[in-house]
Structure 1
Amino acid sequence: MVEEQVLRSTRVVTPEGERPAAVLVAGGTITAVLPHDAAPPPGARCTELGDDVLLPGLVDTHVHINDPGRAEWEGFATATAAAVAGGVTTLVDMPLNSLPPTTTAAHLEVKRAAAVGRVHTDTGFWGGAVPGNTAGLEALHDAGVFGFKCFLVPSGVEEFPHLDRPGLAEAMDELARFDGLLIVHAEDRALIEGAPQRGGRRYADFLASRPPAAEDHAIAGLIELAAARGTRVHVLHLSSAGAVPLIAAARREGVRLTVETCPHFLTLTAEEVPDGATEFKCCPPIRQAANQDVLWQALADGVIDCVVSDHSPSTIDLKHQDTGDFATAWGGISSLQLGLPAVWTEARRRGHTLADVAGWMSAGPARLAGLDAVKGAIAPGRDADFAVLDPERTFTVDPARLHHRNPITAYAGRTLHGVVRATYLRGRLVAGQVGGAGPARATGEPAGRLITRPAARN
């Protein structure tokens, strides 16, 4: 007999909004969302959450785990432990920085073998579109990747080269043939190479080396190709406000285009980045406060579809904190455990609700990955994936207490609102507070599954 359980809270975030409710779970699936005062079924185990908020588990579709091959940067066990501690129950791993990169079906099997039995979250994989592998994209698609990542500028690792415009068009033609999804790091190489490239500690110099025009121009070109071919295209980690009108116009015209941004673009600003603080380096870069305001408005307007971490860690030495040289430091923000409180801290200040945050960080990414029939919402028939949040409690970020492998983050020392008290994966407690206090920690053996792209799309 399947055990039933009930999670009851005065604040449950459902697709219709936040309300008091009792959520009934059986066999790892949500079977009903009942009134708060509903009597539990006979024999059901009941968990009373009081005024803590029950959110759908977050879905993070932009995570660099780097395993196998560069597991000293991050690994499946550490990344997914950080994820569940931050309320993330499903993630999709990026195809580069691991060795081998996920650019063939055989390489995908190597990646899966490295992950088996080591993931605390449900975990899927993106494939890669690189020069020379167009003929193998359909086989990789059939093997279950959720789509294909490409770069329009050098990626930072030699084994994952970028696509030039003819290569991009070739990949888009092939993906359009079987309705695959292309996800794109969209910066224009020529505009970056033509920008002033000065090394050193000044953040202003690094910012000038990655101008917003490089994003805007690359996205405009991507839109042009997508409109002509009908390919599904997703813009990764949008940081430039100047691209927002282009994106809005393309969507009005029926281009099959989706867009994400990241917590660091929504919560950190160029004005506050100290010179030499290479933990803030990412590409595209953190831009000015006025730019950030436009990104928030685009989220509110639905022009930006989702918010995901772009957790891109490295070993501490690669951040070159000794010299503070932005030109030579690895570009990437480590934030997988902190996305929910970081976004909620700024969202509440701007008048947004936790229902908004759940839409951006759970429902939106689930829809992008084609997982919205089973993930991304507290509704009957969905997986019983939950994050339990104390939204008013604050904490100060201590890198040494985070679960990702290397203790460095741009959020160090920041005070954030929202403490994750517990995380459930298919009804099973996978992260909880130790001794009833402090942030959640992964509990027990990894309970996540390796997942694949749904075989059929709506």
Structure 2
Amino acid sequence: MSRAISSTKVVIDEQVIPATIIFSLHNGKIIEIINKVLSPTDPLLQAYNVLPSDYRNLTPLVILPGLVDAHVHLNEPGRTEWEGFATGTQSAASGGVTTVVDMPLNAIPPTTTVLNLNLKIAAAQGQCWCDVGFWGGLVPDNIEDLVPLVHAGVRGFKGFLLDSGVEEFPAITIGYIEKAMEKVSGLHTILMFHDEMQPCASISSPKGADRIQNVDSVTGDSDSSSVSLESGFSSGTKLTTPASTNVSNTPKSCSDLLHDDIEKLDLGMSQSFIKRAPAPVKDLLRKAVQPSAKEEDHSHCKLPHVHARSINHSVLTDSQAKALAKSPYLASSEPIYGRAARLAKSPELKPFTNEYYQERERELELERKARHGQFVIYDEDSDEYNAKSPLAIAAVEDSVLETVDSRAYASFLASRPDSFETTAIGEIIACAQKNPTVPLHIVHLATHEAVPLLRAAIEDGLKITAETCFHYLMFAAENIPDGHTEFKCCPPIRTESNRQLLWQALRKNVITTVVSDHSPCTPDLKDLGNGDFFAAWGGIASVGLGLPILWTEGRKLDEPISFTEIAKWTSLNTAKQAGLHHRKGRIAVGYDADFAVFDPDIEYTVETAKTFFKNKLTAYNGVNFSGRVVETILRGNSVYALGKGVSTIPMGDLLLEPRFH
């Protein structure tokens, strides 16, 4: 049995053309595409056994390939109160997303072993309204689990170079990355990395505070040049690090360049980053210096690079901004709540038994009793929870932070400058140069300062790609109100000028994909009552909102966005990232009949209460959008329709097949 849909606007590769798409309900595949809109009685439809009642002309709506969101946190099992397979995939389906790839962390246990993957697979059964794939995790003790996980069906792996914020998913080292690349070399997989790392820090957790090396390089240069921190508001203010800064204990990869070399390497990045870059990355930059390259991204920039990295002096002093950026207590990707983390490691408690859940509920209840906006830490010696603000903990070590306003977005932004991202990406590129056969990927890129570095690596033939997120293309730091922690994410939303440059990098194919990084949590963890950006959990719920975000913002560009660009960034390239591009990401014969039916003329306002999110909380509440998904079709079956909701039966499959190459 077959069905067919048509429109005068169908996105097929690089074209938007009239077309009729015929697909089989037996296997959910596209079996024919005719480049015109057929009438219901056309003999071609009859030849494929399409009844008139099974054919729909959707003109003037736009038919796009179903979106593939390659960065989604579904949090099940273990933290299902944050989201879950059912509500997460329903949210995805409501926005034209037909495939999501679930991140390995925030569920308990994380996807770091085959056993843990099987627990996640069991939890997902019968709960998915779109297809679901799984990323595996990179953690210090699972190097021998990587190959078995590849064979078990994970699409690739993700790791952190600083604390993730959940204790069951610790950070990895550069040495681990090099070993992991050796371990998976020759296999069809990809290694992905959270792109934040404190510059020249051997470890970025509070426990390693005494081992932070050359912390001044987080915010400035080791000579007398001045480089400012980004805090996203006023311009021209600079931080200065004295020329006498002691760098004797700096790792070899952070050795300084001569001044004339720095002048040659002006690719629009900060002078302090160029000084800290690993030696192989400096060599890469030297090869990449061309007049056209300088003009392409930063023709107006001169060293030191300061135009997007300024401090709001109505909120912070120079010394406070510098202290925020170098504090190891604030460097974690999230506040380390440690919810059930001890249980995840406990050999006495078998996962998902009655005893496990009873003990976990006890810990959750203790945590709820802590004051909102506090850093909840479990003390194993006393078997008690202690509550303290992350900023208060940092202020114990550096009194200059005692008067910092934790509700000010400028304070949070100053604690995570661009150098966190450029440092991490520089280290990852250095790893790629040592083992160029393994594909690497940078997740949720938020700073334009890394764009010239990525471009140089790509032009040098390295297998490295990067994504950005809908919120980095939509929001700007200048417009985030103080205390509105629903906007907190890591890396942070940066300035308006940075946002515009990310759009440019996307259109120039340095950034190749756009994803949601859907990372929800319960409202209490957002600390909405106190509005403490340092105590709040970071993450923006947004899966299913991508199409209207791109259409709304993209039409404001000097050269308005096209539907072919949207399909490339959110379907084809994300399918390639997940190794699914043999069946997902295109409208083509032999591909899954996955479609997003979009009305570009609908105007609507996001109402959080009407979303499918388990927790009705998102930074997009009240935002006005142009364009809306009116139907989502998964392998030929309608799984969402505007005004009707999701299908009564979940039709999503779990994608555990080997990666396509």
* TM-score of the pair, normalised by structure 1: 0.96
Question: Tell me, what secondary structure is at the counterpart of 1:139?
Answer: helix
Tell me the residue number matched to 2:654. 450
Kindly report which structure 2 residues correspond to 1:149-188, keeping only aligned pairs within 5 A, or say none: 149-188=158-197
For 1:140-289, list aligned pairs within 5 A: 140-190=149-199, 194=215, 195-197=322-324, 198=404, 200-230=406-436, 231-289=438-496
Structure-2 residue corresponding to 1:20: 18
Q: Deviations over 1:366-418 (max 9, x none)?
A: 01111111000111111000010001211101000110110111111110111
Higher deviation after alignment, 191-200 or 253-262 = 191-200
Gap regions ≥5 residues in structure 1: 436-440
1:29-40 alignment, distance < 5 Å: 29-38=29-38, 39=42, 40=44
Matched, 1:135 2:135: no
Alpha-carbon separation, structure 1, partners of 2:29 and 2:175: 46
Hey, what's the Cα distance between the residues in 2 that align with 1:274 and 1:453? 45
AA matched with 2:148: A
Q: State which of 499, 508, 524 in structure 2 corresponds to 1:301.
A: 508
Q: Which residue of 2 aligns with 1:322?
A: 529
Which has the larger displacement, 7-16 or 102-111? Answer: 7-16
Amino acid corresponding to residue 265 of structure 1 in structure 2: Y
Q: Is the Cα–Cα contact under 8 Å of residues 7 and 37 in structure 2 kept in the other structure? A: no
Say whether the 8 Å CA contact 1:199–1:206 is kept in structure 2. Answer: no
Equivalent position amino acid for 2:15 in 1? G
Whole-Å Cα distance in 1 between the matches of residues 469 and 537 of structure 2?
18
Q: Which moved more, 1:266-275 or 1:163-172?
A: 163-172
Structure 1 runs, 4 residues or longer, greater than 4 Å off: 190-195
Secondary structure (helix, strand or coil) at the match of 1:235 reads strand
Please state whether the residue corresponding to 1:349 is helix, strand or coil: coil
Structure 1 residue 32, shift from structure 2 partner: 1.6
Paired residue for 1:41, among 42, 45, 51? 45
Per-residue deviation, 1:227: 1.2
State how far apart, in whole Å, the 2-side matches of 1:174 and 1:213 are: 30
Does the CA contact (< 8 Å) of 1:52 and 1:391 recur in 2? yes
Q: CA deviation at 1:190?
A: 4.3
Sequence identity of aligned pairs in percent?
46
Counterpart secondary structure, 2:122: helix
User: What amino acid maps onto 1:340 in structure 2?
Assistant: L
8 A contact 1:199–1:327 mirrored in 2: no
CA distance in 2: counterparts of 1:242 and 1:102, whole angstroms:
32
Matches within 5 A, 1:63-78: 63-78=72-87
Q: Deviations over 1:157-194 (max 9, x none)?
A: 00000112222222222222535310100211346965
C-alpha separation between the residues in 2 aligned to 1:191 and 1:273?
Answer: 30
CA contact (8 A) 2:198 2:423 kept: no
How many residues align? The count is: 450
Task: Tell me the CA shift for residue 445 of structure 1.
Answer: 1.0
Counterpart in the other structure of 1:7: 5
Deviations 1:247-294 (A, max 9, x none): 010011111101100000001111110000100000000000111111
Q: Which amino acid counterpart does residue 211 of structure 1 have in structure 2?
A: P
Could you tell me how far apart the structure 1 residues matched to 2:453 and 2:59 are? 45
* Deviation for aligned residue 1:107: 0.5
1:297-348 deviations in Å (ceiling 9; x for gaps): 1111111111010000000000000000000000001001211111111112
- Correspondence for 1:90: 99
Corresponding residue for residue 133 of structure 2 = 124
| SS of the residue 1:196 aligns to | helix
- 1:370, 1:453 within 8 Å by CA — same for their partners in 2? no
Instruction: Find the residue that maps to 1:189 and give its secondary structure.
Output: coil
TM-superposed CA distance for 1:129, in Å, is: 0.8
**Matches of 2:323 and 2:477, distance apart in 1:** 18
TM-score normalized with structure 2 length: 0.67
Offset, 1:35: 2.6
Which is worse superposed, 182-191 or 361-370? 182-191
Query: 1-side partners of 2:199 and 2:459: how far apart?
Result: 29
My pick for the range that moved more, 287-296 or 163-172, is 163-172
Could you tell me whether the CA contact under 8 Å between 1:55 and 1:378 is conserved in 2? yes
Contact residue 198 and residue 419 of structure 2 kept, 8 A: no
Q: Is the 8 A contact 1:199 1:328 kept in 2?
A: no
Alpha-carbon separation, structure 2, partners of 1:220 and 1:23: 45
1:387–1:420 CA contact under 8 A, matched in 2: yes
Judge conservation of contact 1:369–1:453 (CA < 8 Å) in 2.
Answer: no
Rounded Cα–Cα distance in structure 2 between residues aligned with 1:96 and 1:221: 22
- 1-structure distance, mates of 2:188, 2:628: 40
* Equivalent runs, 1:347-358 vs 2, <5 Å: 347-350=554-557, 351-358=560-567
Q: Give the aligned partner of residue 383 of structure 1.
A: 592
Q: Tell me the distance in 2 between the aligned counterparts of 1:328 and 1:32.
A: 54
**Structure 2 partner of 1:405:** 614
Change (3 A) 1:191 1:325: farther
Shift of 1:41: 1.5
Residue 154 of structure 1 and its aligned partner are, at CA, apart by 0.4
Residue 431 of structure 1 aligns to a residue in which SS? strand
Question: Where does residue 373 of structure 1 map in the other structure?
Answer: 582
Note the aligned Cα RMSD (angstroms).
Answer: 1.4
Residue 226 of structure 1 aligns to a residue whose secondary structure is: helix
How far apart are the structure 2 equivalents of 1:288 and 1:32?
46
Provide the rounded CA distance (Å) in 1 between the counterparts of 2:531 and 2:14.
47
Find out whether 1:107 has 2:116 as its counterpart.
Answer: yes
DSSP-derived class of the 2:440 partner: strand
Q: How far did 1:200 drift?
A: 0.9
CA distance in 2, matches of 1:177, 1:326: 43
Contact 1:54 1:387 survives alignment (8 Å): yes
User: How far apart are 1:132 and its partner, in Å?
Assistant: 1.2
